[in-house]
Structure 1
Amino acid sequence: MTDFPSFEIPGRTALVTGAARGIGRAIALTLANAGADVAIGLRDASADAGLTAEIEALGRRVLPLQMDMASPEQIRAAVDAVVERFGRLDILVNNAGIAPGNPAEHVTEADFDHTLAVNLKGTFFASQAAGRVMIRQGYGRIVNLGSQAGAVALPGEAVYCMTKAAIAHLTRCLAIEWGPHGITVNAVAPTFVETPGNADYLAEPANRAEVLERIAALHRLGEPMEVAGAVLFLVSPAASLVTGEVMLIDGGWTSR
């Protein structure tokens, strides 16, 4: 093998769920910048916050989609729409997720069911719908958004941690099952990142100080583009031999 590693993905079509803001938005823009056309899954397809225009400004085609990850029907319809519009689906990034903080003794059945519906059930059925397309193509790249919370315990986040641990193992299972079809399945597991979803928690000085202390090696929060860079690597030709892996992007948190 004499070719140098490539991180460009021209001619590919990607679907990024939960793309309206934060990490999902950064991933969508990063994949477009690397050459992919991008479908953006949104809980409200009319509220893309300018993302469509930003992707088009990069010279790529874009398709906003109504895609509530708690609805398998919307998931299947969104994947069908991608194939109808672009003719194929090469990359799926399962970014959408929720993290309602709640001490275990106060979790209701409704809380439990909704978190699993979005984080775990949604990830599985989006992977299934995309996987069926990728099996027909003989090619695909799936990246799941895990979390350091899948490897370490976060107080008040028992249900969230459970879903992210499950996603780590789902990633391995799908990698083994779909590898013979030319599909790789990996996950990235970030630490606390500066996003709207973390803003309220990190606005509390005590919470922010504790998080910075626990990010043991770098002592700083992550940025969405730092997660997007890892996703780009995993869907690029440079990572063609990488599958079934969960890449921690945690600034040293879990090495402590």
Structure 2
Amino acid sequence: MSERFWLTDEQMERLRPFFPKSRGRPRVFDRRVLSGIIYIKKNGLQWKDAPTVYGPPKTLYNRFVRWSRMGVFARIFVELAQPGPDGETIMIDSTHLKVHRTAASLFKRGTRPRAIGRTKGGLNSKLHMVCDGLGRPLIFFLSPGQMSDAKGALALLSALPPAKTLLADKGYDADWFRDALEEKGMAACIPVRCGHKNPATHDRMPYKQRHRIENLFARLKDWRGIATRYDRCCELFLSAVHIAATVKF
């Protein structure tokens, strides 16, 4: 039992205000169910393979799906994700996630969006992320794998937190993006792509800190349920990402 993941009493007290109120019969022990959900997503297991100490697998699955569609895990992440002491700098980047065949079944009319695309590497999704200067996640956005970094930045532009500088790689080198950041009062620290007609300069010293967002992606992908996408629905997979980010950071 010591080898299993269990939320501590302090963690449960911090999360309890975000839980929906039970209606009628009391819910099954929240700590046991949430710990089981985290264990499944961390190890990339099927629900039927959940250890018996976490209770019936059907209960774990139903709770995860129901609370994901209610936005419970997203609200927990949003409320707990706050910029660190270095609130003057934010970073943006994206990474590809391999889609398992169980999540890549044919799309049917009327089903929920899946955010699955096809690239040279096969079926995958792209996870766009904004983090603070200390490498802690703030915003996530999931898109099909073929979406460019610039289009992902456009989707996140209105949700960017206040900051003085934004760090990004060459994939975000676009004049419209630099102009939009300037309107928000942010300085763009973005290297210029080859062949740019109007090259801009960037400060190389703060750009060296961009490795923190790369390390952040690496830590998230330590969870097998994040490195490989097994969930068909976009909102369910994003809930797994929110859970992983909340537990680790």
Considering Cα pairs closer than 8 Å and 6+ residues apart, tell me whether 1 or 2 has the greater RCO: 2
When normalised by structure 2's length, the TM-score is: 0.25
**Structure with the largest fraction of helix:** 1
Q: Which has the larger radius of gyration?
A: 2
When normalised by structure 1's length, the TM-score is: 0.25
